[in-house]
Structure 1
Amino acid sequence: MPTFRLAPTPVALAVFLLASAAAQAQTPAAGDAQTMPSVVISASADASAEGLSRAYAGGQVARGGRIGILGSVDMMDSPFGATSYTQQFISDQQARSVGDLLQSDPAVRMSRGFGNFQEVYMIRGFALDSDDVAYNGLYGVLPRQYVSPELLERIEVFRGASAFLNGAAPGGSGVGGAINLMPKRAGNTPLTEVTVGVETGGHSYAAIDVARRYGEQQELGVRVNAAKRQGETGIEHEDHDVGMFAVGLDYRGRGFRLSADAGYQNFDLDAPRPSVATSSVAALPSAPDASRNFAQPWSFSKERDVFGTARAEYDVAKDVVAWAAFGGRKTHESNSLANPALSDVNGNAAFSRFDNARKQGIRTGELGVRGKVRLAGVKHTLVASWSGHWNEAKNAYAIGDALNTNIYAPVNTAIPGTPYLGGVMSDPRVTQKTILNSYALADTMAFLDDTLLLTAGVRRQQIKDIGYAYGTAVQSGPAYDESATTPLASIVFKANKCQDPPGYKHV
C-alpha cells in the first residue's frame, strides 16, 4: 500500500486547490475577444458538469457511477465493485419496488424489517435497511419503508465497506455495501409517457412521466412524475394503496449547475401478509399456499412522507469545483400488526396485536470541493468534504394479549384491546435523536499515462445518539458520543489500454 500524508483540515485542502488553479490560469491578451461557451444539456441527475455515466449497449447498465466523495467514476478507474442500473432497466423490469429491481443483482437478496414491512437489502450477507439508502448522495431523505421506482433515474449498488466513501449510515447498517438512488431529470428530448395496467388480483396501476426543457439554450429542465397503485394483490384479501408525486428541476448555467427535487408518497397496506417467526420450532413446516393470507383482517400499515433535496455545483476556477447539497424528510407512520410466531410444525402460532405511531424529521447535507492539479509530473485529483445528518424520531406503542391462529387455517379475531402502552399514541414524544458529522480528504494520483491510479484518503466520523423514555421524553441514559477515523488506500493498474471494439456504440 502507498504511504501518504494528508492536510490537517478540509479548509487547508480547499485553499491549496484554489491557489493551484489560480497559478495555472492564463490571462488573455489585451484585445482578445471574450466569448461565453455554449451550454450543452445532458440528462444529469446530480447537478454535475460530467452528468451521468454513459450506458452500455442495450442501455440497462452504465459504465460507472457515484463512488461516494470520489464522484462519478468509470468502472475501469474504480478499485471498488459497483453496478449502476439505468432508467431503461427500471422500465424494462416493470417492478413495483426497489427490492423487485435488485432481485437481478447477484450480490443482493431481499428481506423485511423487524416486525414491519420495510424493505431490507442483504448485500454480501449483511443487512442494509431502507433508512440507510442514499438519494442523490444524501442519507435518510427517501421514505423509509418503501420507495416507488417511478421516482428513479438510476439505482447504484456499491459492494464492500463504504464508511470512508459515504460516511457512516445513520441507521447503523450497510456493512456489506451501499445503495444510492438517483432522481429523474429532463433530457434533451421532450417526454410525455402514460402507463396503465392491471396486475394479479385486480391490482390496478397508472403512471405519468412528463419532461420539458426551457430557455434559449434549454438550460432549465422540469420533470414531473406521478403514479398510483391500488387494489388487491395476488395474496387474498391483501390490499395495497400506493401513491406518489414528484417534481425534479435542474438549471445548467455558465459556470454553475443547480438541481432540486420535491416529492410526496403514501404507502397504505390493509391486511398485509406478515412475516412468521420460527425461532421456537426445531424444524420448519412446509410453506402455506402462495396466495393464502394469514393476516388478521384489522391489521394495517400506513406511511406518509414529504421529502426534498437541493444541490448546487460551482466552477470556482479551472479544474476546481465546489458543491453543496441539502435535503430533508417528514414522516408520519401508523401500524396495527399481528405477526405470528410458530409454536409447532403443524402451523399453530401465537400473535399479539402491536400498534405503533411514529413521526420522524430528518435534515442532511454535505459540502465539498474537488480539484485537479499536476505536481512533479503526477496528476492529482484532490477532494475535501463535510457531511452532516440530524434525525429526530417520535414513537409510541401499544401491545395486546397473546391470541392463537394457524398459518394453514387462519383464525380471524375481533380487534383485541391493547392494555400495555408505551407513550401516547395520539401524540408520540421524542424517543431518539441522532447527530452525525464527518470530514473527509482524498487524493487520487495518476501515473504512467493514467494506467496506474493510487488513491489515499481519510474520514473522521462523529456519532452522537440520545435515547428518551416513551411518553415523557426524558433522556433515558447517557448519550452515545464517539468518533472514529477511517483510512483508505487503493491501487488500480490497467494492464492493457481499454478500447471499445469496432462497431461498438455507447447509448
Structure 2
Amino acid sequence: MRMKSTCVMMALIMGGMQVSLADEETSNTSTLELDTLSVTASADASAEGLSPAFAGGQVAEGGRAGILGTKDNLDTPFSITSYTNEFIQDRQAQSVGDVLRNDPTVRVARGFGNFQESYFIRGFILNSDDVAYNGLYSLLPRQYIATELFERVEVLRGASAFLTGANPNGGGIGGAINLLPKRAPNYDLNRITLGASINDERNGSADIARRFGENDEFGIRVNAAHHNGGTSIDDEQAELNLFNIGLDYQGDRLRLSADMGYQNHQLEQTRTNLRLMNQVSSVPSTPNASENWAQPWSYSNEKDYFGTFRGEYDFTENVTAWAAYGMRHGEEENSLSNLNITNGITGNGTLSRFDNGRIDRIQTGEVGIKGKFKTGFIKHELVAAYSYFVSEKKNAYRFVSIPGGSNLYNPTYYSRPELADLYSPRLGSRVRLNSFALGDTLSFMDDRLMLTLGARHQTLKTEDYDYNGQTGLIGKYDDSEITPAIGAVYKLTDEFSIYTNYIESLTKGDTADSTTDNGSGGTVDVVNGGESFAPYVSEQKEIGLKYETSSIGAGLAYFTTSKPRSFMDKSNPDRPVFRQSGEDEHQGIELTLYGKATDDLKLLGGVTWLDAKQKDTGNSSIDGNRVIGVAKLQATVGAEWDVPSVDGLAFDGRVNYTGSRYADDANTLKVDDWTTVDIGAKYLVQLANQDLTLRARVDNLFDRDYWASVGGYPGNGYLVLGAPRTVSISATVDFY
C-alpha cells in the first residue's frame, strides 16, 4: 500500500515533468533498411531528443553532458560515448557490464563481498548502484541491471560534480554512467527474442510499443524478460524476471513521461571473489575458468521496484523548464562463503558462512530551467538546476567460521553450518544531498569557440549507525562545498575540435568495512567499522582533440585526477582501524576510434595508458607505488564486417587486452596481463510480414584462464576469475 500511495502522490506532484529520450530506432531516418521496410524517426520525447546514431550505428553522435543537456561530440569540452540499442542487441549484451566490455577506457570488475557489477573508469571504481537512470542516481537495481531496462548506455569520462551532482555512494571520480529509458517509436513495435547458451541458459523477452491519439501524442512501451538456467561456470545457476512500462505524452509545449519497473535477480552457487590474506606472498595461478569453489548452499537474491516521472515545458521558443522525480525500494538477502587465500602457491584458504540482509529506499529529484539569448555578438545557453537525493539503508548480517578450510584447485564442500538467527535489517546509514547549479555556455566566432562556465553548491549530510543496535549513531557529516567547472572547445575546422576542462568531483567518503582478516586466516572486527569519512573533492584537468567526418570519428585526451587514499591500518592486528592518508594520483592518455572505415567495415575501440600512483601516504615503502587493480595499458579493438555478397549477413570480432596489475599496496603481488578474443555473427532476413534476426556469439574464443579484475574496494586486492568460453545464440522476430 505504501508504494502504491507513493506512486499516486508522485503522479500528482509531477504533473509537469520532462519526458525522457526516444527509442533508439527512432533516432535515425532509417535504422533498418529492407526492400519493403523503412523505419522512420519517432517524435522526440524531449526538446533535444535522442542524439542520432553515428555512422555504423554502434555509438551516437553525442550524449548527455548532465544539466547542459544532449551535446554533439565536437561541441562539448568533455569526453562522452553513447552506445546504441542496435549495438547492445547485436552483441547479445545482458547487463551494463556486457556493454562496457566494448569500451577501451572502462574495465568491468565486481563489488566487494557480493556479486555487484563495478566499473573501473580511468582507474577509479564506480559501483553499479552509482549508475544514473535518465540523469537521476540509484534508481535501477543496485547489483545487476539487465539490458531490457534501457535504450542506451552513456559513459561520461572524468569528474562531473557540476554536471551531474555529487555521487551519493562515493563513486564517480573517474566518470559517470547514465542509462536512457525506452520510448514508443512512431511505428507499432512487436518484438520477441529467444536465446540460449551452450551451458543450458535460456532467455526470452518481449518488447511491445504503441502510439495513440489524433497526432500520436500518447506512447506506451512494455518490456518483459525471463532468464533462467546454468551459466558457463560449473554448477552456477541464475534466474532473472523483469517487467517495465514506459509512458510518454508529446504536446505542443508540454512533454511528460513515466517509467515503472520491477526486477528480481536470483543466484545460486555463484562463484565468489578470492580474498588474499596478509601472509600471502604470491598470487595464485589461475584455475580452470569453468571451476567453481562456491559452497553448494550459497545464494544471493535481489528484488527491486522503481519508478520515475519527468516533465518538460516550453515557456517560449528559447526558455524551457524541466522537473523529475524517482524512487526505488530494493531488498537483498544472501548466504555466502568466500574463499580467503592463505597460501598463494598451494591455493589453501579459509571459509566462513556470511549471511546478509539489506533494504534500500531511494528518493531523488531535480528541477531546472534553461534559456538561450544573446548579448551583442555573444550567444548564451544559461542553465540553473536544483537537485536532491535521500537514501536510507538498513542492514543485518551474521557470520561464522567453517572449520577445515578449502582449496582453490580442489575445493572442499561442507554442509551449511549453523548460524545465529539473523535479526531484521536495522538502520545502517542515511545520505541526504541537496545542490544548486548555475552554468552558462558562451559561443563566439559563429560557434567556433565555446566557453562553459559553471559551479554547483552541494550540501552533503551523512549519518552512520551501529546496525547491531548497540551504540546508535557512530558518525555523521553535514557540510557543503562549491565545485566549479570551466571548459572550452575550439573548432579548428568542421572536422577537428580541440578542448580543455577543469572540473571537480565531490563524493561521499569511503565507509569502513565491519570486519577484516586478522592475518591468520580468520576475521576480526574493525574498530571504526561502519564509519564513513567526510566527503572529498577531487580535481581533474583534461585536454583533448576530437575528429569526425561523416563516417569515422576519433578522440585523444590527456587527463590527471587525484583522490584521497583509504586503507586498513593493521599495525595492531587485534584492533585494525580504517584510515585515510595521502592520495592516489591518476594520469592517463585515451585514444578512441568509432565509425565506418569503409561501406562494409565498422570499427570501435581504442587504447588507454594509465599511470596511477600512491602519493604522500606517510609510508615510504609504498610511496610512488602503483594503485591496486589499475593496469598501465588496456585496449579494446572491435570490428564488424557486412558481407557484400550476402544481404543481411555480418561478422564481428573483438580483442580485449588488460596489462598486469598489483593486488597490494606494496606492489609485491603482481597479477598477470590477459588478452581475450570474442567473435559473433548476425543474419537478418525478411519472412513474409516478419523480420527475423539470427545472432550467434562466442566470448573468450580461446578459453583463456585469467584474473579478470583485481581490487574493487579500498586497500583490498581480491581477485575475480574471468568467465570461460561461452557460446550463445538468439533469434529476434519483429512482427508487422
TM over 0.5: yes
Secondary structure of the 2:301 match is strand
Letter in 1 for 2:95: S
Residues 1:365 and 2:362 aligned together: no
* 137-146 vs 395-404, greater mean Cα deviation: 395-404
Q: Are positions 1:284 and 2:283 aligned together?
A: yes
> In structure 1, which of residues 103, 110, 113 is the aligned counterpart of residue 111 of structure 2?
113
Question: How far apart are the structure 2 equivalents of 1:132 and 1:71?
Answer: 20
Secondary structure, aligned partner of 1:479: strand
Residues 43/200 of structure 1: CA separation in 2 closer, same or farther (3 Å cut): farther
* 1:96 to partner: Cα distance: 1.8
Flag as ranges the 4+ runs of structure 1 deviating above 3 A: 498-505
Map 1:268-307 to 2 at 5 A.
Answer: 268-280=266-278, 281-307=280-306
Q: State yes or no: 1:143 paired with 2:144.
A: no
Shift of 1:216: 1.1
Could you say which residue in structure 2 is the equivalent of 1:35? none
Report the counterpart of residue 410 of structure 1 in structure 2. Answer: 411
CA contact (8 A) 1:466 1:475 kept: no
Cα separation, partners in 2 of 1:51 and 1:474, compared to 1, 3 Å: farther
Paired amino acid for 1:486: T
Relative to structure 1, the CA distance from residue 426 to residue 208 in structure 2 (aligned partners, 3 Å threshold; closer, same or farther) is farther
Equivalent in 189, 198, 203 of residue 191 of structure 1: 189
Q: In the alignment, residue 399 of structure 1 is paired with which amino acid? A: F
Measure how far apart 1:236 and its partner are.
Answer: 1.1
Q: Secondary structure at the match of 2:74?
A: coil
Q: Which runs of 5 or more residues in structure 2 are unaligned?
A: 1-39, 496-547, 553-594, 597-736
**8 Å Cα contact 1:43/1:185 also seen in 2:** no
Does residue 459 (structure 1) correspond to residue 456 (structure 2)? The answer is yes
**SS of residue in 2 equivalent to 1:202:** coil
Paired residues of 2:334 and 2:357 also in contact (CA < 8 A): yes
Aligned to 1:377: 377
Alignment match, 1:208: 206
Q: Residue 479 of structure 2 corresponds to which residue in structure 1?
A: 482
**C-alpha distance in structure 2 between counterparts of 1:231 and 1:339, whole Å:** 23
The unaligned stretches of length 5 or more in structure 1 are 1-39
Shift of 1:203: 0.7
Q: Which amino acid aligns with 2:418?
A: G
2:161 equivalent to 1:160: no
Find the residue that maps to 2:179 and give its secondary structure: strand
2:55–2:550 Cα contact (<8 Å) kept:
no
Counterparts of 2:366 and 2:99 in 1: how far apart (Å)? 28
| Cα drift, residue 322 of structure 1 | 0.2
Match of 1:263 among 261, 264, 282: 261
Alpha-carbon spacing, 1:261–1:502, altered in 2? closer, same or farther (3 Å): closer
Q: Which residue of 2 aligns with 1:431?
A: 428
Q: In the alignment, is the contact (CA less than 8 A) between 2:300 and 2:334 conserved in 1? A: yes
Cα shift at 1:41: 7.3
Residues 294 and 253 (structure 1 numbering): CA distance in 2 closer, same or farther, change over 3 Å? same
C-alpha distance in 1 between matches for 2:52 and 2:139: 26
> Would you say the 8 A contact 1:41–1:218 is kept in 2?
no
Structure 1 residue 118 displacement after superposition: 0.3
Say what the alpha-carbon RMSD is for the aligned residues.
1.9
Letter paired with 1:292: E
Question: Secondary structure, in 3 states, of the residue corresponding to 1:69?
Answer: helix
- Shifted more, 471-480 versus 253-262: the winner is 471-480
Q: What is the match of residue 444 of structure 1? A: 441
| Deviations, residues 302-359 of structure 1 (Å, cap 9, x unaligned) | 0100001100000012200000000000011001111101111111111111100011
1:53 CA displacement: 0.5
Corresponding residue SS for 2:77: coil
1:400 is aligned with what amino acid?
Answer: V
Contact 1:43–1:52 at 8 Å: present in 2 too?
Answer: no
Check whether the contact 2:329–2:362 (CA below 8 A) recurs between aligned residues.
Answer: yes
* Aligned residue identity for 2:288: D
Q: What's the TM-score once normalised by structure 1's chain length?
A: 0.88
Conserved 8 A contact 2:437-2:454 = yes
- The match for 2:398 is 398
Q: d(CA) in 2 for partners of 1:445 and 1:167?
A: 22
Of 466, 469, 478, which residue of structure 2 is paired with 1:469? 466
Q: Deviations over 1:377-419 (max 9, x none)?
A: 2100000001100000110001112430111111110111225
- Identity, % of aligned positions: 51
Report whether the alignment pairs 1:354 with 2:354: yes
Query: Are the counterparts in 1 of residues 402 and 417 from structure 2 also a CA contact under 8 Å?
Result: no
**What CA distance in whole angstroms lies between the structure 2 residues aligned with 1:123 and 1:93?**
21
- Residues in 1 aligned to 2:423 and 2:49: alpha-carbon distance in whole angstroms: 46
- Structure with greater strand percent: 2
State which of 49, 64, 81 in structure 1 corresponds to 2:62.
64
Cα displacement (A) at 1:376? 1.7
Residue equivalent to 2:331: 332
One-letter code aligned to 1:316: F
Q: Does the Cα contact within 8 Å between 1:118 and 1:145 map onto a contact in 2? A: yes
Distance 1:41 1:411 in 2: 58
1:158 maps to amino acid: L
CA contact (8 A) 1:84 1:154 kept: yes
Taking a change above 3 Å as real, the CA distance of residues 278 and 476 of structure 1, as seen in their structure-2 partners, is: same
Q: Tell me the amino acid that sits aligned with residue 276 of structure 1.
A: L
Residue 388 of structure 1: aligned partner = 388
1:204-257 residue CA offsets vs partner (Å, 9 max, x unmatched): 111111111111111111110011110111111100001111001111001010
> Contact 1:436 / 1:463 at 8 angstroms: preserved in 2?
yes
Equivalent pair of 2:100/2:107 in contact (CA under 8 Å): yes
> d(CA) in 1 for partners of 2:242 and 2:551?
44
C-alpha deviation, 1:189, in angstroms: 1.7
Contact kept in structure 1, 2:465 and 2:475, CA below 8 Å = no
Amino acid at match of 2:169: G
Q: Where does 1:40-79 land on structure 2 (aligned, <5 Å)?
A: 42=42, 44=44, 47-79=45-77
Name the counterpart of 2:124.
126
Counterpart of 2:417, as a letter, is: P
Q: 1:170 pairs with 168, 171, 174, which one?
A: 168
Q: Scaled by the length of structure 2, what TM-score is found?
A: 0.61
Which of 496-505 and 259-268 deviates more?
Answer: 496-505
Question: Aligned letter for 1:443?
Answer: D
Paired positions, count = 461
Counterpart CA distance in 1 for 2:352 and 2:551 is 65
How many angstroms apart in 1 are the aligned matches of 2:304 and 2:422? 19
The answer to whether the Cα contact below 8 Å between 2:67 and 2:163 also exists between their aligned partners in 1 is: yes
Q: What one-letter code is carried by the residue in structure 2 that aligns with 1:285?
A: P
